Amino acid sequence: MDTGLDYAEIRDAVARICAGYPGAYWRDLEKDAAYPTAFVQALTDSGFLAALIPEEYGGAGLPLRAAAVILETIHASGASASACHAQMYIMGTLLRHGSDAQKTRYLPEIAAGSLRLQAFGVTEPSTGSDTTRLKTRAVRQGDRYVVTGQKVWTSRALQSDLMLLLARTTPIDEVKRKSEGLSVFLVDLTAAAGAGLEIKPLPAMINHNTTEVFMDGLELPLDALVGEEGQGFRYILDGMNAERILLSGEAVGDARYFLRRATEYAKEREVFGRPIGQNQGIAFPLAQALAQTEAADLMARKAAALFDIGEACGPEANMAKLLTSEAAWAAAEACFQAFGGFAFAREYDIERKWRETRLFRTAPISTNMVLAYLAQHVLGLPRSY
């Protein structure tokens, strides 16, 4: 189906890279919960992971829409960008709020791939989405900050050189608004390992290389602080629209993957003397998922267009995340049903992608949290929490 795709050259180039990493590659990684080092290196060598880094720092300086296309294409091919997508949106906090010294020091190496910034230490076991009440503390003591706390679901911390960390620098009972007093730090994980920081793998149903991070007396230099002390929550929010738009691209890619696989199978698979795609029970859910996908894609494009011209796009970014995640799940379910029992067979890759796609309805923000945001901030209804 011709969907009027943009950035055709980028799509073709990314698809060629992904062709070298078929389903068997990803299935083998799952056996040992291994990291796709070769795949990430290929994307790095091609320059695609540096798409959003300005040219003056060695990147491509492309708009957010182009980056979303890269991630969409990866997922549409059957691969997964989860191993490296965070580098795209975490980098934005450093780019927008970091000092000139920090940007000059880190961005060229991140663009070249000699440094990995892929870990984002925000979520905690006891606070979850209630970010302003996180318990990790960073206390200034002379020429350093001393950090104590715990993070959970910090993906790729074991495969990163740097971690962006959100910690409270002013106790919550000493600030006027609970969103104040939070600060962002850039943590050198190599230097911190064994010196007040411990990282433990957190096995999950999908191979996202996620971890728990424990900090007990971790000492950070003053120049690890990104931006102003106490303004970290605003910095994190500033990057969330980009994150949601980028992951919307991944969800659209997954939806297209499932639709392609299911359609091909439904044309070829014959039961009772005819192709199963002739049955409305198979055809209609796929057609419905197609319509959802195309509509969701339009919202994702709108959100990216607003972001790229510097306009406010909170509602659109959240609606894109909501609609694309639901479209991807609808396509996943329709594909699973079309394949029947074979969907459970690992060699077909349907169950792997089905498991991965379910995540979009939960993270990085759940469907219910998006609905709460839209109800309050767009419809003007009373705050529900």
Cβ proximity of 27 and 352 under 8 Å: yes
Domain covering 8-112 assigned CATH 3.30.565.10 in the classification: no
Q: Give the pLDDT score at 237.
A: 87
Parallel, antiparallel or unpaired: strands 197-201 and 274-275 = unpaired
Question: Given the structure tokens 């690890």, which residue do they identify?
Answer: 224
Topology, domain 234-378: Butyryl-CoA Dehydrogenase, subunit A; domain 3 (1.20.140)
Q: Give the pLDDT score at 241.
A: 94
Q: Where are the beta strands (DSSP E) in 189-313?
A: 197-201, 211-221, 225-226, 270-271, 274-275
For 57-64, which contacts have Cβ atoms below 8 Å and span 24 or more sequence positions?
57/103, 57/104, 57/107, 57/108, 57/111, 58/107, 58/108, 58/111, 58/112, 59/107, 59/111, 63/304, 63/308, 64/242, 64/245, 64/246, 64/304, 64/307, 64/308
Helices and strands, counts by H and E, the chain: 12, 10
Superfamily of domain 117-232 in CATH is Butyryl-CoA Dehydrogenase, subunit A, domain 2 (2.40.110.10)
Domain with CATH 1.20.140.10 in the chain: 234-378
What is the distance in angstroms between the CA of the first residue and the CA of the last residue of the chain?
43
CA distances from 214 to 153, 196, 225, 232, 263 (A): 12, 8, 19, 20, 46
Q: Give the pLDDT score at 2.
A: 47
Domain with CATH 2.40.110.10 in the chain: 117-232
Residue-wise pLDDT tens digits, 75-124: 999 999 999 898 898 989 999 999 999 999 999 999 999 999 999 999 99
Q: Give the pLDDT score at 87.
A: 86
Domain with CATH 1.10.540.10 in the chain: 8-112
Residue-wise pLDDT tens digits, 230-269: 999 999 988 899 999 999 999 999 999 999 999 999 999 9
Q: Give the pLDDT score at 204.
A: 93
Q: Give the pLDDT score at 3.
A: 55
| Regions in the chain scoring below 50 on pLDDT | 1-2
